[in-house]
Structures are given as C-alpha cells and as structure tokens.
Chains A and B, each alone.
Chain A
Amino acid sequence: MPADHDDETRDDTLRQAIAELRRPVALDPALEGRALARIRAGAPTHRIGSRRGLLWLGGALAAGIALALLVRPPTGSPARPGPTLATAGTQPTRAVLIRLAAPASSRVTVVGDFNDWDPAATPLRPVGDSGTWTVELHLKPGRYHYTFLIDGRRWASDPSGAPAAESDFGAPMSVLTVG
C-alpha cells in the first residue's frame, strides 16, 4: 500500500473488494505470441472488424437537413476573438462550433469521444426559428469521433464532415480533428 493512506482502506467492504481486485487475472497465454506475429507482419494497430455487430443507424436524413461543423482558430486569432480557453499549465483548447440544420426537430444532441457518448451531455440550441441548431465545444487538440442524436431516437452522422475510417464502427459517424 502506498505511503499516503486514504480513508477508503479503513472500510471493511472496500478493503475486501480491493483484495479481490488484486487477485491475478487469467489471460490468454498466446497473447504475446499474437502481438509478436502482428509486429512481424507489420499489421495495423487498429483491429479491423468487430465481434460486436454495429447496428446500422445511418439511413439518409430527410432532404434539407444540412450540417456544418466549423473549427474556429485558436483564441487570440485575429479572425475572431473568443473567451480564454486555456489556463496556465493545461493543454489549450479550441472552440469548435457545431451547427446542424434540422427543421421540425424538437431536440438535437451531439455525442462523441469528447463526452463519453452520453446523449444527454451536449444538447444543441435552436437558433431562432431558422431550424438550425448549434453548440460550441471547447476541445483539446486530438481526433474525435462524433455523431448526432435527433429527437432522442434518430442518429445522424455529418454528411459534410469526414467519415469515420474505422470499418468496425460502422458508417454513421464522423471524425473531427482539432489541431
């Protein structure tokens, strides 16, 4: 146990749970062999194909739904001043404006790697009566998969965005790279 004890270890239930969690876990003895085989073969690091069938939820969205995703320049850019997006010692973030034209919809959310794919975490807001929905995210540089959920039941990828390349994810997803 590390030197700086915490209160948690004084609780009997937790202490027993921790002891259980520290027990060895049996792994496939051929695991290293398979890793070596991939190294020798120069195989890609992403597994292609998935044991989980991914339900195809794409389906074409109704005509008239257009979507745009705009990545603003970093804070301080003369293009458009924005709020302070980074504090000292942290990786700076960029403001990402997500916009979806989805008329006749009552609720739109975006889900992705940035919010643990939680459909309730990031709702878009309607812009007047225009049928357009927007939300601004502050994201660290990186690559994010994302998609949209309309009215809590209809998924939609970004038809104007970069499609997700990984074949095991299925089609209805897009990829955003924040540089």
Chain B
Amino acid sequence: MDSLPPAPVTAKGRVRSGVCRLSHAVVPGGLPRMSDSDAALVARTLGGDLEAYAALMTRYRDAFGRYAFHMLGNREDAQEALQDSFVRAYRALGSCREPERFGAWLFRIVVNRCRTVRRRILRHRRFDGDLTEDVPSKGARPDAFEWRDEIARALERLRPHYREAFLLRYVEELDYGEMARLTGVKEPALRMRVKRAGDQLRDLLRDVHAG
C-alpha cells in the first residue's frame, strides 16, 4: 500500500487520559473482516490501514445511503453527501471518542452533510428563479405517478426538519433518545416533528393510495 495519506490524527489527550478505548485496544492483523468490530477497524485505520476504513465504509454505505437518498431526493446528491461524509469522517477519525460507536458518529456526520447539501439544493432552486413551490402541486396529475414516486414527492413536500425526523424515526428506526443525540434537538420537539410529518404524509398520500 504505497502513497498512503497521513493517518488521521488521534485526538489530543485521549491516550494520556485513558478515556479512549483505542489506547488499549487489541488490534488484529491481516485483512479486515466484516466480523471485525468497528473499534478494531477504527484502530487499524488510525494505524494507517486504509483497507480497514474501506471495510467501515462498506458496512454503513447502504443504510446511510438510503437515508441520504430519501433526505435529498435524488441519487447523485445522496452519493455526493455520503462520499463527502466518508472523507470527512476519515480526516476527523481521531476525534471519534467511542470507536465502538463509530456508526453513530458517522451517521451524525451524514445527517449534517445532508443538511448542508439540502441547503445548497435550495440555494440553486432559488437562484434558478423558482421562488414558489419546490415541487409541483399534487393536483397536477397524481394518477400518473407510481406509488414510489408519489412517496418521494410527498417526502419532498415536507419541511426538511420534519422529513429528517420522520426518516430517522420510521425508516432508520431510531428511538427518540438516539434521535436527540444525533440531531441535537430535544425529544418533545422531535416527537412533534414526527407527528406532523406523519400527518402531512398521510394527507398527501391518502388520495393516491386510495386510487
């Protein structure tokens, strides 16, 4: 493995303080296996093993890619957000204080990255002169859309923080405590967002579904 980039820097003070479990992790040798723990793969990555990081990416790509796809509404933006998240996470890996919870740490980066990409999308739409609805109204020709497309369109009509809460709760199946840690939003507010998102989605989809 030549021309390796510098390994991510371990957070200052972690080893000295003894808080970081990486400081006494047993790191297996050989090729990474999917059965290796997140902590083991993080340790190997910090030691300069990019194959270990590739294994981490493979482990989380599908779940987080699905979230990004539904959050952003298209594959290209979702893949960009996920790829950016992987690169950012690698560079910041030394600050991952609980490597055994690498997935949760990475997901937070993905959620934030999706928010940023979403804002960029909004910017482009505004600048392209679309100052009205982001999505055509459902009265256009609802019967012309497949069920899956209609779900995507309904999701797109939700306010981003409603959509985010709904996806985290029902698609990624997080509990409200996990959602609060991930988003920095308090549980009552998240419950309200999920409730409103559900109400709005139900209203948007009911006619299509009945038809």
CB within 8 Å of B: which residues of A? 1-4, 6-9, 11-14, 16-18, 20-22, 24-28, 31-32, 34-36, 38-43, 45-47, 50-52, 54-55, 57, 111, 113, 116-117, 119, 145, 152, 155, 169-170, 172-173
Chain A residue, CB-CB nearest to B67 = A25
Q: Does B87 contact A (CB under 8 A)?
A: yes
From known contacts A14-B198, A27-B65, A31-B83, infer whether A22 and B171 are also in contact, taking CB-CB under 8 Å: yes
**A residues in contact with B58, CB < 8 Å:** 32
Highest count of chain A CB atoms <10 Å: which of B3, B50, B86, B88: B86
From known contacts A17-B151, A40-B5, A42-B5, infer whether A35 and B198 are also in contact, taking CB-CB under 8 Å: no
In this complex, how many residues of chain B approach chain A with their Cβ under 8 Å: the count is: 62
Query: Per DSSP, are chain B's interface residues mostly helix, strand or loop, or mixed?
Result: helix
Query: Can you offer 15 A-B residue contacts whose CB atoms are under 8 A?
Result: A6-B191, A7-B195, A8-B202, A21-B70, A22-B66, A31-B65, A31-B83, A32-B61, A32-B86, A36-B54, A38-B83, A40-B3, A43-B87, A51-B76, A145-B119
Highest count of chain B CB atoms <10 Å: which of A6, A35, A50, A117: A35
- Do B82 and A170 touch (CB < 8 A)? no
**A residues in contact with B84, CB < 8 Å:** 45-47
**A residues in contact with B79, CB < 8 Å:** 27-28, 31
Chain B residue, CB-CB nearest to A152 = B131
Q: Does B156 contact A (CB under 8 A)?
A: no
Q: Does B105 contact A (CB under 8 A)?
A: no
CB within 8 Å of A: which residues of B? 3-5, 50, 53-54, 57-58, 61-62, 65-66, 69-70, 75-76, 78-80, 82-84, 86-88, 90-91, 119-120, 122-129, 131, 147-148, 151, 154-155, 159-160, 167, 169-171, 173-176, 191, 194-195, 198, 201-202, 205-206, 209
**A residues in contact with B205, CB < 8 Å:** 13-14, 17
Query: Per DSSP, are chain A's interface residues mostly helix, strand or loop, or mixed?
Result: loop
Pick the contact of A32: B57, B160, B176 (CB < 8 A).
Answer: B57
Q: What is the CA–CA distance of A31 and B58 in the complex, to the nearest angstrom?
A: 9
- Do B175 and A27 touch (CB < 8 A)? no
**A residues in contact with B65, CB < 8 Å:** 25, 27, 31
Chain B nearest CB: distance from A149 CB in Å?
8
- Do A24 and B66 touch (CB < 8 A)? yes
- Do B195 and A6 touch (CB < 8 A)? yes
Chain A residue, CB-CB nearest to B159 = A116
